[in-house]
């Protein structure tokens, strides 16, 4: 079946540094990838939608200069949290779809802790 | 806009009990409906889905029926196991292409005791 690999699974960084999270579709071409943020015991909040070769579309309230998304190929999307602060600590999850048959595949998530 | 409402958790059951997790939605047209499960520290796994009214999705003993008249997609299982303990999310996507992001409910934590 479709597999999405998300890396790293956990990362701890110092306040003010940047962190890059990768999301790869291993056995299919993802026309669209989504990035979600999940707060403790809360639902997933959509941050942005990215299509290969296009600029990401950010949801209202999400700072595009802080959360840089690149979708350079049909199998790779990256989320870079720039100048991270403790309030950016969260669980980030990516999802990829081929756009057919409502097949959404999720990565295993990245636990970001900013200290 | 689209929204999904789930029952508040946690839901605590004994092994072999019957499970119902309520889910209702608000959307224009006929969205596709999903149930996802999240185990501790992991991402989401698709449990089942239904793409049109009256469809029944089923998997691993779980079932949910797409009820257009009541805008509901309640999750049921006849006999839960300890291994079913997880957080369950109801979700929808608009009817068009399946390329739009999912809208999730708040999640319901299920705890099954031996």
The tens digit of pLDDT for each residue in B22-41 reads 999 999 888 999 999 998 87
Give A34's contacts in chain B (Cβ within 8 Å).
Answer: 101-102
CB burial class (10 A; 0-12, 13-18, 19+) of residue A69? buried
Give the distance from residue A1's alpha carbon to the nearest chain B alpha carbon, in angstroms: 12
* B45 near A CB under 8 A: yes
Give B101's contacts in chain A (Cβ within 8 Å).
Answer: 34, 46, 49, 95
- Tokens, residue A73: 């190929």
* A8 near B CB under 8 A: no
Checking if the pLDDT of A3 tops 90, the result is no
pLDDT by residue, tens only, chain B of 114 residues? 889 999 888 999 999 999 999 999 999 888 999 999 998 878 889 999 998 899 999 999 999 999 999 999 999 999 999 999 999 999 998 865 556 889 999 999 999 999
Residues 10-69 of A with CB under 8 A from B: 31-32, 34, 41-44, 46, 49
What is residue B43's predicted lDDT score, i.e. its pLDDT?
82
The tens digit of pLDDT for each residue in A93-107 reads 999 987 766 678 999
* B1 near A CB under 8 A: no
The tens digit of pLDDT for each residue in A24-57 reads 999 888 889 999 999 877 788 999 999 888 889 9
Residue A86: left if φ>0, alpha if ψ -120 to 50, beta else—which one? alpha
* A6 near B CB under 8 A: yes
Phi and psi angles of residue A94, each rounded to the nearest 5 degrees, phi first: -105, 160
What is residue A52's predicted lDDT score, i.e. its pLDDT?
81
* H helices present in chain A, as ranges: none
Where is average pLDDT lowest: A18-22, A70-74, B46-50?
A70-74
Q: Tell me how far CA of residue A92 lies from CA of A2, A19, A40, B36, in angstroms.
A: 20, 12, 11, 16
Residue A41: left if φ>0, alpha if ψ -120 to 50, beta else—which one? left
Mean model confidence pLDDT for chain A: 91
* B89 near A CB under 8 A: yes
């Amino acid at each position: 079946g479709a597999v999405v690999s998300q890396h790293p699974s956990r990362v701890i960084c110092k306040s003010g540094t940047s962190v890059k999270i990768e999301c790869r579709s291993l056995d299919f071409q993802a026309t669209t990838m989504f990035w979600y943020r999940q707060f403790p015991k809360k639902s997933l909040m959509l941050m942005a939608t990215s299509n290969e070769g296009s600029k990401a579309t950010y949801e209202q309230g999400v700072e595009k200069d802080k959360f840089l998304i690149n979708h350079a190929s049909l199998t790779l999307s990256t989320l870079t949290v720039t100048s991270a602060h403790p309030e950016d600590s969260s669980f980030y999850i990516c999802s990829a779809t081929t756009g057919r048959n409502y097949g959404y595949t999720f990565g295993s998530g990245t636990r970001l802790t900013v200290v | 806009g689209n929204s999904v409402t789930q029952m508040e958790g946690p839901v605590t059951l004994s092994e072999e009990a019957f499970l119902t997790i309520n889910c209702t939605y608000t959307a224009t047209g006929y969205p596709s409906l999903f149930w996802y499960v999240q185990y501790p520290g992991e991402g989401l796994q698709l449990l089942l889905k239904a793409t049109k009214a009256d469809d029944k999705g089923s998997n691993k003993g779980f079932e949910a029926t797409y009820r257009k008249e009541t805008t509901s997609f309640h999750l049921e299982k006849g006999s839960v196991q300890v291994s079913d303990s997880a957080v369950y999310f109801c979700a929808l996507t608009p009817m068009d292409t399946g390329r739009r992001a999912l809208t999730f409910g708040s999640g319901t934590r299920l705890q099954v005791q031996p």
